[in-house]
Structure 1
């Protein structure tokens, strides 16, 4: 019979139930459900288990191969995507954060770009700097607000006293 699973599941039904209730991720639950279905004989074949779980048969076979190779640890292991490396390394990001918190700070994002160019030795895009500073570090350059030339200091002091 095609699709009949020849795998020995070391865990008992109770252990699988307990692990199933402890799982926090959906993918982990699905993988444990596969083992549970095969252990309790609710699914006689991988094809039957695939239809019960709503997954492709090949996906379930990949999961079972992982289980055969490394047990539950390998089966429940999360795949970590490395992704593209950051434009600004972590150490320089910390230095920038410290510099932003200092009293002098920076006057503009352009000034931050120049500072990073001196440190990195390459140009960093304005948009990258803005996103890093504004969204990731939750900071901003120290920009002085413009003051009117017609502002009278005595009226300003009177306002501060009465406010």
Structure 2
């Protein structure tokens, strides 16, 4: 049989609920839900809380231990995310914005944009970084329509089309 949770939550239920509403990110919200469930007395076992939140029992146990040892501020500090250093300079970001948002642009591919940045600023930007930045920030689709096949048979095409 699992052990009962024996921890005293010092914050009020109202404070925890307000923090839950203001919290950004599912991880912080789930951590606050654990404290709310314990404070309300809804759940008495870590396994029940873990099932409710869709997390592992070990995760819930670690959160409870973190809270009891270091408090709420430490529990809500999320240190995941990895190395998130920016690889594109401010000048390059300005140039990308100028080129992509220009209505009369002649850029047809990300490779072409990459070459323009290299020529004008002398900076090399990885294709993946440029592609993901443009897609995420500007929702861009730099695609060129391909020519229809020059040997296409019109009669064969009509067979596949519905009348």
With the length of structure 1 as denominator, give the TM-score of the two structures. Answer: 0.53
Residue 20 of structure 1 and its aligned partner are, at CA, apart by 4.0
Match of 1:61 in 2: 61
In the TM superposition, residue 58 of structure 1 has moved relative to its aligned partner by 0.5
Q: CA RMSD in A?
A: 4.4
Q: Distance in 2 between matches of 1:132 and 1:18?
A: 34
Which is greater in Rg?
Answer: 1
How many angstroms apart in 2 are the aligned matches of 1:22 and 1:135?
25
Alignment of 1:1-163 (within 5 A): 2-23=2-23, 25-79=25-79, 81-82=81-82, 85=85, 88-97=88-97, 112-118=113-119, 119-120=121-122, 122=124, 125=127, 136=137
What are the superposed Cα offsets for residues 86-106 of structure 1, whole Å, 9 maximum, x if unpaired? Answer: 55333322245457789xx87
Structure 1: gaps spanning 5 or more residues: 140-163
Equivalent position of 1:158 in the other structure: none
CA distance in 2 between counterparts of 1:68 and 1:75 reads 9
Deviation at residue 38 of structure 1 after TM alignment:
1.9
Q: Flag the 1:56–1:120 CA change in 2: closer, same or farther, 3 A.
A: same
> TM-score, length-normalised on structure 2?
0.53
State the aligned residue count.
140
Evaluate the alpha carbon distance shift between residue 81 and residue 25 of structure 1 in structure 2; reply closer, same or farther with a 3 A threshold.
closer
Superposed CA offset, 1:57-104 (max 9, x none): 1110121133234422232334452456555333322245457789xx
Q: Which ranges in structure 2 are unaligned for 5 or more consecutive residues?
A: 141-163
Distance 1:116 1:28 in 2: 39
